[in-house]
């Protein structure tokens, strides 16, 4: 029993070829996964962002938009610096903790008095002196930002910028920079007047991903040899110092950026990956609102404010996971809020590991199930369950932990291995089917040969016509399979006696055919050497069959010994169908016999029973393959249809046999025969047939 269990367990394990196929499929899926990343990952994660955007109702970041409404009132862009000076003063009065300009003031004020005097030289020295007294609007703006927590924007460039070494010092960032941190050789700066007075500077650069969408904001970059902060990080630093009065140190470590007591994850390019949101309309003010005396400045107390151009035609429009158009300032505002309150997305090392491990476990599980071919439905059920559970787990981690887990990778890994295994199984199945077909063809050839041998053991049907002029005899046997268990024999036993027997082995196919061959050989042997009457012959035959066949199969048989001189028929029925008598009037009469059980079951005194045929009368012997033949509706051919078929054509023994067999096959209407079919018919023509 133990050995049997071990053998069964071993048979359930995948073969070496299946393991190799699974490994190859896993490797191919891994390469595909790496090729599709991060595009496939971004598609999934962008979908989660769209389903579950971040809530910014409690944000302390506000946006001052210089939109079409403000331009209609103040005038076209660029505005006079006096307007920015006034705007800065208003924001400072409101108590803003940090004010960032998502604009670079690289050119002098277009309407400053000195520039105006060069364009339109005055005719009067008094007017010229008056213009000189007005001073520069850039100076007014510089004065305003010098007393306010202002962060001016700068941009890293490769051409047409200033040497980073010549710039006013940025905020100090220490530590180890990320491996792929972007580096800019030059910097596009603001006017020197403004740069000398500003408390802070933030880089405005932000490259989108390869598909053109912005998913993160650079917190740090490198210009020359210096590590410099992005606009959002510098705003957070200035706001922190305004609120606490203490310096906010910025330190870089691998994968992390620390500002004061807050640690923020960054990628290899120094970017913070955002969990995006739609900025509430209540957090966005127009510049004209701020400049209005009616505006309640207390709304800005303790807030971080970012000022930017948002008028129609503004170049600062980016695509994000939430849509194809979002002003860049709104992205900076979300980054500033994430630094202050949290709300970034993380993709920790364990997330990567979990994806590969989950994919490997799924691949092995699918392999084990696929290898057990009887569990094919379970394989697809497990795969379908994984298709549901893994994306659900990914969304749950995104929604409640801001963690990015890619469900595509493990599904690819598991599916790749499973498909490779299915392919291997399919190839194996094809080879097995081909081998089975070959074996079947060989078997069919052998069975055809066996059928030919079996039919060759039967009396020659053509020779039956010349057996004796006193008897008209015909027979036909059709096996249900290539070989069968029915047989008949016609044995002359002297000048006037002929033994006619029909038999049916209880079974079909090769075993029945083998027993049939044995039974026929024993029957002929016993008939030829039995000196006694037919009852003694039947008992002798049963003894021989039981000795040589054991209890393998049973055998029904009807023995008919006809005396051609008198028409007297002596019969023994061993469990077989009764003979049918055809009278001279054409009637079909069942001849009931007492008989006994089939041979090979027990010793039994089978009685010999008699009838006498009149010249012209006939007997038809059949097996149960006639009466028990079935059609597609599982109806039986039965005795009544047998009689009707025998009435149809009684011109000769051959006609009766052929008509009955054809009627049975027509009734079956193409369905597979349920049993072997054998019919033997003989008509007694009289002791002197010529006289008849």
> pLDDT, tens digit, for every residue of 505-555?
876 667 777 778 888 888 888 888 876 789 999 998 888 888 866 555 788
Cα angle for residues 689, 579, 470 (degrees, 5° grid)? 10
Q: Where are the alpha helices (DSSP H) in 171-255?
A: 192-195, 231-244
Q: Among the CATH numbers 3.60.20.10, 3.40.190.10, 3.30.70.100, 3.60.40.10, which is that of 459-691?
A: 3.60.40.10
Q: State how far Cα 226 lies from the chain centre.
A: 52
- Measured CA to CA, the distance from residue 426 to residue 25 in angstroms comes to 15
φ, ψ at 195 (rounded to 5°) = -65, -35
Strands 61-66 and 677-684 turn out to be: unpaired
What is the H or E stretch that residue 440 is in? helix 408-457
Tell me how far apart the alpha carbons of residues 411 and 360 are, in angstroms, rounded to a whole number: 10
Other C-beta atoms closer than 10 Å to the C-beta of 238 total 25
588 has which bridge partners?
A: 582
Token output for 406? 């890619």
Give the tokens for residue 150.
Answer: 């202002």
pLDDT the model gives residue 7: 38
* Domain regions of the chain by residue span: 13-50+347-431, 59-341, 459-691
Q: What confidence score (pLDDT) does residue 525 get?
A: 87
For residue 140, say if its preceding peptide bond is cis, omega within 30 degrees of 0.
no
Residue stretches of the chain with pLDDT short of 50 = 1-11, 374
In 3D space, the residue among 560, 365, 402 whose CA is nearest the CA of residue 55 turns out to be: 402
My answer on whether omega of the bond before 410 falls inside 30° of 0, hence cis, is: no
DSSP state of 539: H
Measured CA angle at 243 (ends 240, 244), to 5 deg: 80
The Cα–Cα gap between 339 and 238 comes to: 12
- CA atoms of 195 and 189, how far apart (whole Å): 8
Alpha carbon separation from 594 to 46, 605, 606 (Å, rounded): 90, 11, 9
d(CA 272, CA 259): 13
DSSP letters spanning 240-259? HHHHHSS---EEEETTEEEE
Which among 555, 573, 556 is positioned nearest to 610, based on CA atoms? 573
DSSP assignment of 29-58 equals: HHHHHHHHTTHHHHHHHHHHHHHSPPP-TT
pLDDT at position 4 is: 38
The predicted structure's pLDDT at residue 8: 42
């Amino acid at each position: 029993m133990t050995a049997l269990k071990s053998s069964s367990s071993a048979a359930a394990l995948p073969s070496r070829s299946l393991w190799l196929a699974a490994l190859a499929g896993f490797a191919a899926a891994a390469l595909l996964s790496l090729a599709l990343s991060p595009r496939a990952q971004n598609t999934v994660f962008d979908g989660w962002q769209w389903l579950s955007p971040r809530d910014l109702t409690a944000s302390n970041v506000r946006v001052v938009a210089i939109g079409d409404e403000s331009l209609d009132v103040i005038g076209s862009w660029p505005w006079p610096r006096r307007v920015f000076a006034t705007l800065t003063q208003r924001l400072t009065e409101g108590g803003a903790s940090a004010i960032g300009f998502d604009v670079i003031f690289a050119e002098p004020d277009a309407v400053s008095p000195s520039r105006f005097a060069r364009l339109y030289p005055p005719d009067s020295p008094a007017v010229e002196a008056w213009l000189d007294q007005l001073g520069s609007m850039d100076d007014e703006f510089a004065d305003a930002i010098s007393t306010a927590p202002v962060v001016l924007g700068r941009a890293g460039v490769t051409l047409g910028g200033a040497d980073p070494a010549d710039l006013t010092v940025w905020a100090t960032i220490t530590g180890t920079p990320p491996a792929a941190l972007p580096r800019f050789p030059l910097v596009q700066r603001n006017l020197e007047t403004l740069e000398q007075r500003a408390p802070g500077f933030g880089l405005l650069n932000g490259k989108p991903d390869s598909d053109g969408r912005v998913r993160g904001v650079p917190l740090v970059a490198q210009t020359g040899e210096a590590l410099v902060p992005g606009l959002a990080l510098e705003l957070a630093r200035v706001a922190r110092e305004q609120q606490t009065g203490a310096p906010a140190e910025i330190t870089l470590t691998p994968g992390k950026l620390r500002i004061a007591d807050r640690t923020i994850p960054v990628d290899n390019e120094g970017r913070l990956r955002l969990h995006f949101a739609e900025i509430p309309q209540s957090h966005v003010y127009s510049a004209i609102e701020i400049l209005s005396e009616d505006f309640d400045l207390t709304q800005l107390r303790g807030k971080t404010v970012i000022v930017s151009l948002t008028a129609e035609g503004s170049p600062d429009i980016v695509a994000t996971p939430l849509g194809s158009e979002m002003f860049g300032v709104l992205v900076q505002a979300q980054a500033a809020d994430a630094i202050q309150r949290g709300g970034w997305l993380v993709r920790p090392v364990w997330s990567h590991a979990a994806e590969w491990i989950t994919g490997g476990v799924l691949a092995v599980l699918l392999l084990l199930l696929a290898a057990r071919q009887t569990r094919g439905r379970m394989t697809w059920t497990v795969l379908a369950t994984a298709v549901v559970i893994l994306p659900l787990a990914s969304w749950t981690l995104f929604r409640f932990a801001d963690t990015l887990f890619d469900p595509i990778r493990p599904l690819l890994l598991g599916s790749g291995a499973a498909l490779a295994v299915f392919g291997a199984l399919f190839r194996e199945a094809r080879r097995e089917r081909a081998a089975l077909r070959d074996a079947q063809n060989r078997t069919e050839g052998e069975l055809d040969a066996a059928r030919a041998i079996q039919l060759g053991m039967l009396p020659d049907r053509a020779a039956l016509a010349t057996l004796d002029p006193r008897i008209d005899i015909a027979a036909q046997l059709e096996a249900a399979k290539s070989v069968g268990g029915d047989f008949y024999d016609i044995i002359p036993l002297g000048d006037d006696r002929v033994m006619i027997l029909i038999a049916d082995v209880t079974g079909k196919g090769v075993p029945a055919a083998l027993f049939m061959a044995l039974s026929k050989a024993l029957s002929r042997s016993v008939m030829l050497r039995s000196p006694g009457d037919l009852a003694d012959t039947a008992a002798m035959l049963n003894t021989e069959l039981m000795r040589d066949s054991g209890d393998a199969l049973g055998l029904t048989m009807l023995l008919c010994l006809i005396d051609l001189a008198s028409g007297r028929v002596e019969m023994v029925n061993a469990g077989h169908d009764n003979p049918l008598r055809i009278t001279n009037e054409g009637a079909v009469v069942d001849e009931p016999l007492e008989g006994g059980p089939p041979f090979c079951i027990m010793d039994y005194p089978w009685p010999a029973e008699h009838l006498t045929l009149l010249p012209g009368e006939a007997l038809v012997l059949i097996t149960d393959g006639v009466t028990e033949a079935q059609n597609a509706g599982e109806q039986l051919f039965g005795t009544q249809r047998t009689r009707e078929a025998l009435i149809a054509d009684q011109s000769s023994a051959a006609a009766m046999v052929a008509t009955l067999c054809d009627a049975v096959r027509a009734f079956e209407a193409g369905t597979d025969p349920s049993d072997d079919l054998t019919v033997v018919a003989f008509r007694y023509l009289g002791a002197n047939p010529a006289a008849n």
